[in-house]
Structure 1
Amino acid sequence: MRLVFGLVLIAGVALAGGAVYMARDYIAQYQDQLARERQATKDALANVKSVPTVGVIVTNRAMKYGEPLVKDDVRIVNWPEDAIPEGSFVDMAILFPEDANGERFVLRAVEKDEALMKVKVTKPGQAAGLVSQIEKGMRAFAISVDVSSGVSGFLRPGDSVDVYWTGSVSREFEGGGGEITRLIQTNIELIAVDQIAGSDVTGATIARTVTVAATPEQIAALAQAQNTGQLSLALVGVQDDTVATAVEVDQRKLLNLKESAPAPAPVAEKVCTVNTRRGGEIVKTQIPCTN
């Protein structure tokens, strides 16, 4: 009995020793692998070049058109130097100058942590009205629209449209006569829809007027066209960079009609007569005509 107990004890000690040996070997291998991975990470980090950054002013919260901009609404974050959006503010002294005559206002909707750019805010002391969105040399002009001529209410400030004129042309002009539709202006920018000048418009709204930014020459053409016919707008796609050519359609072109040949002029019937003198009177007598 004691012999059996001794054999079991010896076997247990042997198994325990083997398990300890195997565990120590596994732990050693794991530590070695971990050390190699740490060294590889250090080598990789050592080979990575540091990216130069610049402090860029971003917004602390989402802001809508017309909101005043104050210092609590912005902060400075590090931005990769070669990826800074054009026109971004990088200096608080420029964004909020000490000699400012008033506050800045948001011109376009901005999201939280978005880089603040010059095109999205007014100048200090300038209101967020329509005047602040008209570029130098341009003028604002209102066009009356409805659900059919205004692209079913899907127009928003910042969109571009082509303008078509439909009306009658006098016959005294070459090619005149009848009603025609002609493309008169292309890629005209909308700066307001009704009294909404901000671009953060959700959903479709049936507008009564849209305001466009155009040169004085373009406005003169639009005013003449609006007073002599009907204007219709065609929405231009965001990625559409094609240049529209002259477009004109009349009823003949629309229906593929050809001008009918003019009716032949009536031929007068030839009448042959002979004159006969009867005393002092000459009498005409009709006779058959011969060749």
Structure 2
Amino acid sequence: MKLARLAILGVSLAAGLLVARMAMAPAPEPTGAPVVVQETTEKEEVLVAAVDIPLGAQVSDGDLQWTEWPRELAPTNAIMRSMRPDAIGEIAGRIARAPVYAGEPLREERLIASDRGFMSSILPKGKRAIAVSVEALTAAGGFILPGDKVDVILTSQGAQRSGNSFTSETILQNVRVLAIDTTTAGEQDEKALPPGQTATLELTPAQAEVVAQASQLGTISLVLRSVQDSADDAAPDMIGGGVNFVKFGVTGQMQTQR
């Protein structure tokens, strides 16, 4: 009986030692190599604007830079470094015909060569540019800048029996100012319009005729519009049926279309 108990005790001790030894043994090292996820998206260096380039500004080397861009997401007509490695030197000196913002891919259709007429290049199809003589007093105190939207007011003098009288009439609304004197939106050095200068307006042919006629009848004033009232998709509007004028003592009106 004692021999049987001793045998069972010995077997239990041996099993316990085996279990303890297995628990203290180090864990086996993994045999497989670590999984590395590789990026498969192909990238391309695209020419972008390094700074904001306003309308009418001359582009310099420092205004441009190469930036990595996913090839499949690159904009249409973007300039790729792999295809045009010397593009920065080729484009430097051109003039922006539309604003280009920092980080935006550059497209050549938004630039014009410096040896071409700038004003004719930025005019949309069907538009005309006409210059009117203005002073600080008749141009919102001189705070109208190229790129602003304005209303055009004609102030004229009429003869009456009781004496001379003046009338004012808004003849155009929401008109874009292309330049002040010879300064465009990309060349502004001052915050105000010097007295005795000219403002160049963007008009349709019919509107240009109205302004040309009005400038002979009286004083042209420009009224600055709020940015919130100057949406680019809102077309310039003519007020009333036209501009009244007197010729050979007979009152007439230059008809316009709304």
Residue 149 of structure 2 is aligned to residue 160 of structure 1? yes
The CA deviation at 1:144 is 0.8
| Cα 1:119/1:142, change in 2 over 3 Å | farther
Offset from partner CA, 1:98-142 (integer Å, 9 cap, x none): xx99963334676654443567522x5654722222122211111
Residue 16 of structure 2 is aligned to residue 59 of structure 1? no
Deviates more, 1:126-135 or 1:73-82: 73-82
Query: Which structure is larger by alpha-carbon Rg, 1 or 2?
Result: 1
Residue 129 of structure 2 is aligned to residue 129 of structure 1? no
Deviates more, 1:139-148 or 1:237-246: 237-246
Higher strand share goes to which structure?
2
The CA deviation at 1:239 is 2.2
Distance 1:83 1:232 in 2: 46
TM-score (norm 2): 0.55
Question: Which residue of 193, 200, 205 corresponds with 1:216?
Answer: 205
Q: Identify the residue that residue 192 of structure 1 maps to in structure 2.
A: 179
Contact 1:163/1:232 (CA < 8 Å) preserved in 2? yes
Contact 2:180/2:200 (CA < 8 Å) preserved in 1? yes
Contact 2:172/2:237 (CA < 8 Å) preserved in 1? no
Consecutive unaligned residues in structure 2, runs of 5 or more: 1-36, 241-258
Contact 2:79/2:106 (CA < 8 Å) preserved in 1? no
| Cα 1:112/1:210, change in 2 over 3 Å | same
Consecutive unaligned residues in structure 1, runs of 5 or more: 1-45, 172-176, 248-291
Report the secondary structure of 1:184's partner residue: strand
Question: Which residue of 72, 76, 91 corresponds with 2:67?
Answer: 76
Report the secondary structure of 1:131's partner residue: helix
Q: Identify the residue that residue 116 of structure 1 maps to in structure 2.
A: 106
Point out which structure has higher relative CO (alpha carbons under 8 A, 6+ apart): 2
Q: Identify the residue that residue 194 of structure 2 maps to in structure 1.
A: 206
Identity of aligned residues (%): 24
TM-align CA RMSD: 4.4
- Residues 11-50 of structure 1 mapped to structure 2, 5 A cutoff: none
Amino acid paired to 1:221: V
The CA deviation at 1:78 is 2.1
Contact 1:126/1:132 (CA < 8 Å) preserved in 2? no
Amino acid paired to 2:148: D
| Cα 1:102/1:186, change in 2 over 3 Å | same
The CA deviation at 1:71 is 10
TM-score (norm 1): 0.50
The CA deviation at 1:62 is 6.2
Residue 234 of structure 2 is aligned to residue 235 of structure 1? no
Report the secondary structure of 1:199's partner residue: helix
Amino acid paired to 1:197: T
| Cα 1:236/1:91, change in 2 over 3 Å | farther
Question: Which residue of 153, 157, 168 corresponds with 1:181?
Answer: 168
Distance 1:130 1:95 in 2: 30
Residue 92 of structure 2 is aligned to residue 105 of structure 1? no
The CA deviation at 1:200 is 5.0
| Cα 1:118/1:246, change in 2 over 3 Å | same
| Cα 1:191/1:77, change in 2 over 3 Å | farther
